[in-house]
Each structure stands twice: as C-alpha cells, then as structure tokens.
Amino acid sequence: MIPFFPPDLFEPDRGTLLEALFELGTGEQQKFILGDRTAEFEAAIARSTGARYTVACSSGTGGLELCIAALGLGPGDEVIVPAFCCQPVASCVVNAGATPVFVDVDPWTMVLDPDAVEAAITPRTRAIMAAHVFSIMADMPRLQAISRRHGLTLIEDSAVAQGAVLDDVPAGRWGDLGVYSFFQVKAMGSAGEGGMVLTEDETLANAVRMHRNHGQDGKTRFLHHVIGQNKRFDEIIAAFQLARLDGFEERLERRARIADYYTDRFAKLSDKGILAPPPGRNGRCYYVYSLLVDRRQDLRAWLTEREIGTHVYYPVPLPEQPAFAAWAGDGAWPRARSVSDRNLAIPIWPHLSDAQVEYIADSVCEFVS
C-alpha cells in the first residue's frame, strides 16, 4: 500500500520531539508558550524569507484571523476570496463580521483569476485574500498591482507554499500580510499545529502580536490594549520546527523531482482526459500534486485497486457550502465547480522511493491505455 500521506511522517524526528519535551519539562524555567524558542524560530523564518517581521501563532487559520483582526475588518467591509480553496479563507472573514465576496478561479492553475478579482471590487472592498493552491502560486504581481491601484490590503495565504518563490520573492512576502501553516502534513510540517504571519509593516506586526495574546503587548502583563484572542505558539512546537528546518530544502527538492517525473510522464494525457499541473517549477513548493481528471471516480477506483492512496480536495466550492449560503447570493462560479469535480491528488511525499513513484505514474498511464 502506498498511502496518500505516510503514517510514519515524523518517525525520523521522534528523538527531537522527546528531547524538546524533556528539556522543557525539567528546566529551571518551565515556559511552554511564547518563550525563547518561539523567538528563535521567528528569527529563523525571518532570515530564510527576508521578512522584516515574523509572528508565530497557533495555526495557519489562526494567522489569517489575526491578519483580519490587525486590519480592523468588520461589519460593512468586503474581502475578496477564492471560490475554490480551503474553508478558512472565508470563515476568518465571516468570524470578524465582514463579508466574503467569492470570485472564480483559473480552470487549470486553480488559483484566483485576477480579472475576476478586479471585476468584483466595490466601494466596500477592503482586502483581497490571495491563496496559493497545491503547487501553484497565485498571480501575485497582478494581484499586488490591483490591490495597490484600488488602495486595498493584500493578504497572502501561503499555508501550502512555504519555500515557493516567484520572481525571487518568497511566498508570504508578496502580500501586505502573509501566512504560513505548519500543520503536520504540510511541506514544513509540525508535530501538531502552528502558523506564522509575515509582514514588512511594523504597525501591523505589533497589532498581530497583541491580538495573538489577549491584546497584551508583551511588556506589561494583564494590560490589554485591544480585545485580543488566544493564538499563541507552543515552545515544544518551536523546538521541533527549529530542528525540522534542517533538511527542509532537501525535502522540497525531492518533492520537486517527483513532480518533474510525474509531469513528464503525464504530458501526453491531456487529450485523454487527464491534465497535469502546468509544467515548470518556478520555485514551487509541491505540497500536493493534483491532476484534473474527466473520469475522476474511475481513476480513483483504479488506483485504489492498485493500493495507491489518493485525495480529493474541496469537492464542494466554498460558496456552495451550507456554511456560506448567506453570502453566496446569486453568483456563479463554473470554473471552481469544474475544478472541484475533477481534481484528484496522488502521493508526492518526499520519502517515496523511485520505484514507488514509477509505479504510481505507470498506474495512471495504464488507466488511459
């Protein structure tokens, strides 16, 4: 069996986690939240990305919510979000009392369509939520230009794109605020949850820090400057992540080599109903390798018979979800619906052997033949 996600993802890191837990539990100063390791991890991400300010938080979703809070968005404000994406890009807007405005995506890359974004801007629009999906970064140069032309804030959901680079600018640095996720199956991965907010704006960085810790500024305890939240970062996770930084580039490169092999093998399948992601790395982070398949259920069953795990992402577009019915209106998102109906992800975790990768590609090719 080749699972979609490996069951022993962190087996090589078991000793690191136990060592961090033991050290924190037996030290003279037992500080388990927002301590020295958190500060060290924030500094490490700042060095690796060139970001001026980095703020560690409880999760990628928490990071998005902190961005919304730091911007003061609320009732009467609109935030443009992709119709095909993970639920938090819209829920963080709704939870703040603001209005998500769903726009369609590109039918091949599955990320925000800049033309659709610009057409959706109204006098109430305050921000654009750009989200990278699977291995593809959104068109950040165009979205950045649109946001600046209209005086909007650009929030960059880079939850799946840590390590990706576009035009020499790392993912997470294109927006006024960027967010990483360290959920355990992401490319960076954590032994639990974790996130990071990146920004070049000192005022926004300070606001994010206060909102993550009940509105305190970190200088005077129990003095609350804003109505904040509890989205703090654990020291155990920080210690684990600092160790995981070693080898991160090698793991990304292994994912990219697997993706290159898949793309080369699947290049001639587009006329047979299987479309691979656009070729070319362009500094991508291959968190997921997702095909667009006309006969998805048939291919999925075929691969299951051959003991190959697969995954379908977001089978219901966000505006069609019951949770967002009140904000969907009369809109239509045909490309998001098409992508939801056709995407099928195959394994790409870095510990796959060459033989396993070849077997997966052979099985896909055999399906169409």
What's the order of all strands across the beta sheet hosting 99-103? 53-57, 195-199, 177-181, 153-157, 125-131, 78-82, 99-103
Question: Which residue would you say has higher pLDDT here, 331 or 353?
Answer: 353
Name residue 100's beta-bridge partners. 79
**What pLDDT, on the 0 to 100 scale, is given for residue 163?**
93
Is the four-CA dihedral 337, 341, 342, 348 of positive or negative sign? positive
The half-sphere exposure of 248 on its side-chain side, counting CA atoms within 13 A, is 22
Q: What string of H, E and C letters represents the secondary structure of 43-83?
A: HHHHHHHCCCEEEEECCHHHHHHHHHHHCCCCCCCEEEEEC
Query: In 10 A of CB 47, how many CB atoms?
Result: 11
Helix H or strand E encompassing 343: strand 343-346
- 347 SS3 class: coil
Residue 49 has pLDDT above 70, yes or no: yes
pLDDT tens digit sequence for 271-284: 999 999 998 777 78
Whether the Cβ atoms of residue 133 and residue 110 lie closer than 8 Å to each other: yes
Q: How confident is the model at residue 219 (pLDDT cuts 50, 70, 90)?
A: confident
Residue with tokens 């991965």: 189
DSSP 213-260: BTTB-SSSTT-BSS---B---BHHHHHHHHHHHTTHHHHHHHHHHHHH
Whether the Cβ atoms of residue 196 and residue 238 lie closer than 8 Å to each other: no
Burial of 76 (0-12, 13-18, 19+ CB in 10 A): exposed
Residue 178 has pLDDT above 60, yes or no: yes
Q: How confident is the model at residue 196 (pLDDT cuts 50, 70, 90)?
A: very high
| Residue environment code for 312-340, b if the CB has 16+ CB neighbours within 10 A, otherwise e | bbbeebbbbeeebeebbeeeebebbbbbb
Q: For residues 22 and 290, what is the distance between their CA atoms, to the nearest angstrom?
A: 40
> What does pTM read for this prediction?
0.94
Taking 3-state DSSP, the helix, strand and coil percentages for the chain, each rounded to the nearest 5, stand at: 40, 20, 40
Mean pLDDT computed over every residue of the chain:
93
**What pLDDT, on the 0 to 100 scale, is given for residue 308?**
98
Residue 31 has pLDDT above 80, yes or no: no
What's the order of all strands across the beta sheet hosting 289-293? 274-275, 289-293, 343-346
Report the percent of the chain where pLDDT is more than 70.
95
The CA–CA distances, whole Å, from 268 to 275, 276, 302, 360 equal 9, 9, 19, 16
**What pLDDT, on the 0 to 100 scale, is given for residue 146?**
98
Residue 28 has pLDDT above 90, yes or no: no
Residue 325 has pLDDT above 70, yes or no: yes
